[in-house]
Amino acid sequence: MKTGAAIHPLVQVPFQRCEEAFDRFFGGDHNPLRHLGAMGLFLLWIIVGSGLYLYIVLDTGVEQVYSSIGYLSEEQWYFGGILRSLHRYASDGFILVMMLHLVREWAYGRYTGFRFYSWITGIPLIWLAFVSGIGGYWIVWDQMAQFSAIATTELLDWLPIFSEPSARNFIAPDAINDRLFTLIVFIHLGVPILLLATLWAHVHRISRVDYLPSGKLMRGTLLTLLLLALLKPALSDIPANLATVATETRLDWFILFIHPLTDLTSPAIIWALLFSLTALLTVLPFLSRRKAAPVAVVDPANCNGCTRCQADCPYAAVTMAKHPTRRTYQVAVVDEALCASCGICAGSCPSSTPFRSQETLHTGIDMPQFPLNTMREALEQRMSALSGQTRIVVFGCDHGADVSQVASTDTAVLSLICAGMLPPSFVEYALRTGADGVMIAGCRQGGCEYRLGERWTVERLNRQREPQLRGKVPAERLHVSFVSANDGKILAHDLTEFRARIESDQHLSNKLQPYLRRNAHHA
């Protein structure tokens, strides 16, 4: 199993297959399964925006709220009713995306090491999301709200936290007054504020957070929600009446599923289940036996304080400090608790070039488990063993397709911690030392194990980001293939096509040489 592979392949593999299937329709940059965090944030902004409007225009008195929201849903359906439905369906979508995000991160084993903080701070979000969602249904104060309020308070009464049973507040019609209803509204508004604060804590150690998905994905999501709002608008049940028992009601199974579950079991079983799951999620990182990989190491003698590693680090693990020996220089400093051991920083360092005349290649920041000098030596050794008409070097990723499957007498392969670890100068170095072509096999778009490796690789090769691939490198000698761990056949197919293209170019060039020489002579 490759470094960083999930402990739960039975769950990971289905996720990978679904993501790859979605890639065919959406592409990696617009695949919702690859951007669940950004999708959740987008849905949350819809919830907050629509919720603020509803709070402003609704009369929150216990006697007036039902007719007030009824007016919005029926008389002003073209705006207020659509916003209410958007609020409802975006809330369901947020719960769905949140749980998928949780399961996906667990399936990929992303809860230990540098990801520990994000995992732990994500656990309270689950509780806050459901508390806010359940409380939101009470505000409407219809039959569903009555059923949920009584079921929730009966569940809470099992805990020894109230001196008197809270369910007594819903025994008689005159038990509900404006003061209690104001408290319900306050809870529904206050809990989301805590949720937003916890969300900030959840992502603040990650650099370049995708606060929103791509424009195409946002437009598609919003259009889907609007279609749902028009085809099946959110409507209220009959008004709540504490003098009667709610028998039949339309439950929101995304948020209120806990009520039928309580009826089937008991409050004791539900609380035992909830606390056990929370405890399991909390201790899960401590149960992992995976050994932490060595973190990046800075060599002050070769660091000029350019800040490229700081700008490119996906997890804000690199900061700048005063250089120990040069007064006017800064030096990179690595926070071991945040370092992902991905090597992207080594690929961004301007001193990470194999053309340096040093016998032992030293760079400003490097990975102890696979130093740049070892990479250069491995490349030279495998290049010297190549033979055949068209010799190709393939740089792969430990988290993508296994490049060793395409190794042959005319194909040298080198697998890196992350494709983003590759300095662009190594592409030119391979071509200068005898390679006819260089192929880079990175993770699928939007599917990088370390978030930004695939993105930085493409931008560096396209000369959009430092360190850039030099302009003298012919574009036809370079090919980038986006492949996942399951894409061995795709990798082999891409390599075959790349080789055929190079051979075709070489054949055309050989045919044109006499013509070019004649024209050069006449000139």
DSSP per-residue string spanning 180-229: HHHHHHHHHHHHHHHHHHHHHHHHTTSSS--SS--HHHHHHHHHHHHHHH
- C-alpha of 275 from chain center: 27
Q: In terms of Cα–Cα distance, which of 437, 449, 454, 445 is closest to 496?
A: 437
**Domain coordinates in residue numbering, the chain:** 9-287, 297-519
Token pair belonging to 215 = 């424009």
Q: In terms of Cα–Cα distance, which of 294, 369, 304, 362 is closest to 334?
A: 294
Type of residue numbered 314: P
- Cβ contact 169:153 at 8 Å: yes
Token pair belonging to 303 = 């660091």
- Stated as kind and residue range, the H or E segment containing 298 is strand 297-298
pLDDT, position 113: 87
- Cβ contact 288:320 at 8 Å: no
Token pair belonging to 481 = 């293939």
User: What does the alpha-carbon distance between residue 89 and residue 87 come to, in Å, rounded to a whole number?
Assistant: 6
What one-character DSSP code corresponds to residue 286? H
Q: From residue 19, give the alpha-carbon distance in Å to each of 14, 243, 396, 444.
A: 9, 51, 20, 10
Q: In terms of Cα–Cα distance, which of 447, 369, 445, 449 is closest to 110?
A: 449
User: What does the alpha-carbon distance between residue 55 and residue 187 come to, in Å, rounded to a whole number?
Assistant: 13
User: What does the alpha-carbon distance between residue 308 and residue 349 come to, in Å, rounded to a whole number?
Assistant: 7
Q: From residue 297, give the alpha-carbon distance in Å to each of 304, 311, 333, 352.
A: 15, 17, 9, 13
Other Cβ atoms within 10 Å of 259 Cβ, number: 21
pLDDT, position 8: 63
pLDDT, position 292: 82
Class of domain 9-287: mainly alpha
Give the end-to-end CA distance of the chain in Å, rounded to a whole number. 61
Encode the chain (523 residues) as per-residue pLDDT tens digits.
343 444 466 778 888 888 888 888 888 889 999 999 999 999 999 999 999 999 888 887 777 888 989 898 888 989 999 999 999 999 999 999 999 999 999 988 899 888 999 999 999 999 999 999 999 998 888 889 889 988 998 899 898 887 777 777 776 666 677 777 777 888 888 899 999 999 999 998 888 888 899 999 999 999 999 999 999 999 998 888 887 776 667 888 999 999 999 989 999 999 999 999 999 999 999 987 778 889 999 999 999 899 999 999 999 999 999 988 887 789 999 999 899 999 999 999 999 999 988 888 999 999 999 999 999 999 999 999 999 889 999 999 999 889 999 999 999 999 999 999 999 999 999 999 999 999 999 888 888 899 999 999 999 999 999 999 998 889 889 999 988 888 888 999 999 999 999 988 765 455 444 533 444 444 4
User: What does the alpha-carbon distance between residue 399 and residue 442 come to, in Å, rounded to a whole number?
Assistant: 9
User: What does the alpha-carbon distance between residue 398 and residue 413 come to, in Å, rounded to a whole number?
Assistant: 12
- Stated as kind and residue range, the H or E segment containing 271 is helix 267-287
Q: Which residue's entry shows tokens 């020489």?
A: 517
